[in-house]
Structure 1
Amino acid sequence: MWQRPRRATTVAGVLVVVGTVAGALSVVPVLEQPGYLDRLTAHHGQVVRGAVFQAVMVPACAGFAVALHPLLRRTDPGLGAAFVGFRFVAAAFHLVGVVALALLLPVGEAYDGAPAAVAASLEVQAELLRVGRDLVNHVAVIVPLALGDTALFAVLHRRRLVPRWLSGCGLAGAALSVVASVLLLAGAVPVVSAVYLGLNAPLGVQSLVLAGWLVVKGFAGGVLSGRSSS
């Protein structure tokens, strides 16, 4: 019984790292520059790279939940199901972000050399796709991720499957991430800002620490036999 749970937590920890690296590589800097539509075709490879790595985040996001769910349902089936459900919602929105980014490429190609009237229309289309992708990535993805992580950390905290300081930091970080998304949705902060990035940083750091813990330590022994240690 020991080998299977340890394999699951190891896989989960590795998927967190994969998702974090893919997330960093999915950033498309050209989209944050003024007049990005003029540069879009020249930065075709950057856009494609961003779409590919965001696509990698789909199985990483969902796989993390799939790996841990058989262990979590032994201690709290309800919260375990909520964790998986919210993770799959976030993974689906990642796909929407991939599609939005891919659609920017033909708009950029059509924009090059287009008449002024057509160019103005293409600028509106491109901005809708860019802003839409930002809202998908930083609201529609982040909020379900944070809600799913809240369910996960609640189980980990209640059953002491990891140290309580680690699960407690996760609960606080998830709450801060939701606050960041609400501020972004309200137009109070931009994506590239110290406030938004600062509010998301605690959960990002905690996720990497949790990943290391899952790979090296796994869960506390009580989950292996279905016992609670609350």
Structure 2
Amino acid sequence: MDTDRRTARLAGALYLLTFASSIPALLLLSPVLDDARYVLGPGADARVTAGLLLDLVNAAACVGTAVVLHRLLRADAPARALGFVTSRVLEAAIIAVGVLSLLAVLTLRQDVAAGAVPDEGAALVTAHALVALRDWTFLLGPGLVSAVNAALLGSVLLQHRRVPRAIPLLGVVGAPLQIVSVLLTALGHNSQLSALSAVAVLPIFAWELSLGVWLVARGLRRPA
């Protein structure tokens, strides 16, 4: 197996790792995200911490996919390859901000339990703001920025026929749908849990999953 094939397989494995880490993370974080009074209760800090660690794994895998693929694609489209790296690093940084915000909620809950924060009302307001920050990072990072990097990478793969045409088409078509959905949500005309959001995210979900599987199984074709 040549070096480029091994590199492409590594990129595919990292793409699949983003799925293996991000989806369980959402489930593990549900206590702090769904309970408005989490900061005043007994908490599920160990579970939430595990979810936050998975979010960090996801962030690292995001950067890894970009760095690895940049080596393979920089000769095809240097500007877009660099833009892909930049957008993936930005996505990872936004995810990390969300992790920090929820870590602050855990610390605040522990301080309340220890009696170090006598004003429960202030604790609730602070926790609500921190969870809201995390919600925004989820919308802008895995939501908006992931659509940007799908457009960048998908267009390169499509133009140079590095993978079957159907795979990058999912990213190129899905990117504007996802961007519109995110902007409508940011403007208050949509919800992250709406049918529109679910439909808009499906092409991006399918794009990343199919690309990861293809890269692991077959690698990249030679550029056309």
Q: Give your verdict on TM over 0.5.
A: yes
- Larger CA deviation: 154-163 vs 185-194: 185-194
**Counterpart Cα distance in 1 of 2:54 and 2:65:** 17
Q: Which runs of 5+ in 1 are unaligned?
A: 223-228
Q: Is the 8 A contact 2:181 2:200 kept in 1?
A: yes
2:35 corresponds to = 33
1:90 positional shift: 0.9
Question: Partner amino acid for 1:11?
Answer: L
Question: Aligned equivalents of 1:69 and 1:113: distance in 2?
Answer: 49
Say yes or no: does 1:3 pair with 2:10: no
1:158–1:213 distance in 2 versus 1, CA, 3 Å:
same
Residue 116 of structure 1: CA displacement? 10
Change (3 A) 1:57 1:115: closer
Deviations 1:60-103 (A, max 9, x none): 00000111101111111111111111111111111111111111
The residue that corresponds to 2:206 in the other structure is 205
Asked whether the 8 Å contact 2:40–2:120 carries over to 1, the reply is no
Counterpart of 2:99 in 1: which secondary structure? helix
Matched to 2:5, the amino acid is R
Report Cα offsets for 1:122-168 as digits up to 9, x if no partner: 11110110010010122144322221221111111111111112111
Taking the aligned partners of 1:194 and 1:150, their CA distance within structure 2 comes to 23
| Whole-Å separation in 1 of the counterparts to 2:160 and 2:116 | 64
Aligned 1:80-159 pairs, distance under 5 A:
80-112=81-113, 118-159=119-160
Between 42-51 and 107-116, the greater mean CA deviation after superposition: 107-116
- Partners of 1:91 and 1:116 lie apart in 2 by 32
Q: What amino acid sits opposite 2:2 in the alignment?
A: Q
Partner-residue secondary structure (3-state), 1:26: helix
- Whether the 8 Å contact between 1:25 and 1:49 is mirrored in structure 2 is no
Give TM-score scaled by structure 2 length.
Answer: 0.90
**8 Å contact from structure 1 (residues 90, 142) kept in 2:** no
SS of aligned partner of 2:119: helix
Report if the CA contact (8 A) 1:139-1:185 is conserved. Answer: no
Count of aligned residue pairs for this structure pair: 221
User: How far has the Cα of 1:194 moved from its partner?
Assistant: 3.2
For 1:131 and 1:104, the matched residues in 2 are separated by 11
Unaligned runs of 5+ in 2: none
Q: 1:225 maps to what in 2?
A: none
Instruction: State the one-letter code of the partner of 1:18.
Output: L
Letter in 2 for 1:50: G
1:214 matched residue in structure 2: 215
Identity of aligned residues (%): 27
Per the alignment, residue 22 of structure 1 pairs with 21
Q: What RMSD over aligned residues (CA atoms) do the two structures have, in Å?
A: 2.0
